[in-house]
Every structure is written in structure tokens, then in C-alpha cells.
Amino acid sequence: MLAEITLRNWLLAEIPQSKSQARCQRVYISWLAFRRNPVAVIGLLIIASLVAVAALAPWITASDGLELHLSERLQAPGSEHWFGTDELGRDIFDRIIWGSRITLYIVALVSIIVVPIGLLVGTVAGYIGGWVDTVLMRLTDIFLAFPRLILAMALVAALGPGLENAVLAIALTTWSPFARIARAEALTIRNSEFILAAQVQGVSTAGILLRHVTPLCLSSVIVRLTLDMAGIILTAAGLGFLGLGAQPPTPEWGAMISLGRQYLIDQWWVPTVPGIAILVVSLGFNLLGDGLRDVFDPKSGG
């Protein structure tokens, strides 16, 4: 108890004694602001447990989710199989756990592809302006104009079904809002004095974009990314459901619903459990994103 009090004092000291203390304080104060929003904390807990479950999957589960036990097919949830078994006798709990890895894999890959594309298009358009801006932004508008799932479906249909192609298709339909955000930020940054100062020094346009404009666009892009995660998960599940994403027997949640939907009336748990998993995780990302926006966004005060 005493140690905790002194730690808190150390973290909230008026005058930090060292640079690292100041940095810890900054993190701690952000955390205090974040903690005041209980809904955001729930979001954080959901995402944290998703990550934990995905990381610890081999220790939590009894099987790899692919083993068939035809004698135990379609068993109701119980002490043996917490979430029941599916039409091929696979344990649904295990499949959900292994499926969390696939969900995280999709989310991570899409982010890695989408953020650089969005930042590049947006900052170039916003900073250079003129006809470059017009061309890039109309291109962005074209991508924004399509319904996400339809465009992703068309792309997967062209590329061929599969998890990697689904990720590519989702990325190609997701980058446009990031480009818009980055452009809006770049527009305000490009008139700053420090950009003029960099120009006076003879920094090249690429150097200014990379070293001066992009770092300042990052925080709003990150917040937008967490808010977009739910959309990414839903699109991935949608593609899986339509048979265009991960292919069986991969325990992807959308594909699990698709295979289980014929059992909805008599063995309701087969499609319902993965549905709840999708719901909970996308809700978690939305709540977390909301909370992060409140902490990161300097314009909302606090």
C-alpha cells in the first residue's frame, strides 16, 4: 500500500526529476484520462483478452480446432465442450480461440498496408496541392464511392478466394478515409512556419513530407485506424461468410457462421458462437477507438 502511494506520488510529482520520469508521468496522466471513461476501459479489456487468447492459444485449447470427431458431432454446449461441437465434431471453443489469431492477422496486415498508402496519398495531395491534389483526391473519391463489401467482393472474385487475397481486397477498400485525414492534416501543416524553415534550408519535397509532415499526421490516423478496425473485421467476416475469404477448414469466424447456418434452428450454437465473437471483438475495437480519441485528440480539450 505504501509502495503504491509513493509510486503514485512519483508519477504525479509537480516537478519531474528526470526525463524518464516526465515521460512516465505523461503516459500515466493519459492513462488516468482514459480510465475515467469506463466504456473505453471495457473496450481495452476486450482487445487485451483477444490478444492474450490469441497468444496463449496452444495452452488454452485441447485441440488445434481441425481434428474431426465424427462420433461427437453437433453436441450441445456443456462441461465437455464449452461451446459445443460443429457438424464435423470439432470443438467450437477451440476453433473460436484459434480463429482469434486469424482475426488479428487480418487486422494487422490490413493496417500495415493501409496506413502507409493513406499517409502517402494524403500527405502528397495535401502538401503539393494543385493538379496532383485533384487527381489523387478524385481517385480517393472513387474508392470511397463504392460500398466497401461489394468492392472487396469484386476484387476477391478477380484475385481468387483466400485469406491473403481477402486482406489485399480489404486494404484496397479501406485506405481512402486515411488519405482524406492525412490530406486534411497536411493542408494545415504545409502553411506552418517550420515547413517554410525547412524549405529555406533546402530540404527536398520528399524530405519535408517524410520527416516533417508525416509524423504530425500520425496521431489522427492511428485513432481513425482503431475506429476502422471493427469495419475491417466485419468485412473480413463477410467475405469469409460468402466463401471468398479464409477457406475451410480454417477456423475463421465468418466462414464458421457460413458453414453453421444450416444448423441454426436445431443446433443454434454452431453459427451463434462465432457471431457473438465477431460482435464482441468489433464492439471492443469501437469502444477502444472512442476512448483513444478522447485521450489523443488535443482539440477535444481536457
Query: Does residue 212 interact with other proteins by CB under 8 A?
Result: yes
145 belongs to the binding site for other proteins (CB under 8 A): no
User: What's the min distance (Å) between Cβ of 202 and other proteins?
Assistant: 4
Using CB under 8 A as the binding rule, whether residue 144 contacts other proteins is answered as: no
Alpha helices (H) along the chain: 2-12, 19-35, 38-55, 57-60, 92-128, 130-145, 148-159, 163-189, 193-200, 205-207, 214-241, 253-260, 269-296
Q: How many residues sit in the footprint of other proteins (CB under 8 A)? A: 19
Nearer of residues 6 and 192 to other proteins, judged by Cβ: 192
Amino acid at residue number 154: A
Interface with other proteins in residues 18-77 (CB under 8 A): 19
Query: 93 with 61: CB under 8 angstroms?
Result: yes
Question: Does residue 134 belong to the site contacting other proteins (CB under 8 A)?
Answer: no
Task: State the sign of the Cα–Cα–Cα–Cα dihedral 66, 70, 75, 81.
Answer: negative
By CB under 8 A, residue 11 contacts other proteins: no
Measured from the CB atom, the residue of 192 and 262 that comes closer to other proteins is 192
Using CB under 8 A as the binding rule, whether residue 16 contacts other proteins is answered as: no
If the CB atoms of residues 130 and 147 are measured against other proteins, the closer one turns out to be 130
For residue 143 the three cell numbers come to 474508392
Q: With contacts defined by CB under 8 A, name the span among 80-88, 171-179, 208-216, 283-291 that binds other proteins.
A: 208-216
In angstroms, the Cα distances linking 44 to 48, 283, 298 are 6, 10, 21
Sole binder of other proteins in the list 52, 55, 197, 280 (CB under 8 A): 197
| 17 lies in the site for other proteins, by CB under 8 A | no
Residue 234's contacts (CB-CB under 8 Å, 6 or more residues apart) are: 278, 282
The DSSP bridge partners found for residue 85 are: 91
Q: Which is nearer to other proteins, 6 or 204 (CB)?
A: 204
Rg (CA), the chain: 23
Q: What DSSP letter does each residue of 55-79 carry, written as one string? A: HTHHHH-SS-S----GGGTTPPSSS
Find the part of the chain contacting other proteins (CB under 8 A) among 44-52, 117-125, 195-203, 292-300: 195-203
78 binds other proteins (CB under 8 A): no
Site residues, other proteins (CB under 8 A): 19, 129, 192-194, 196-204, 207, 211-212, 215-216
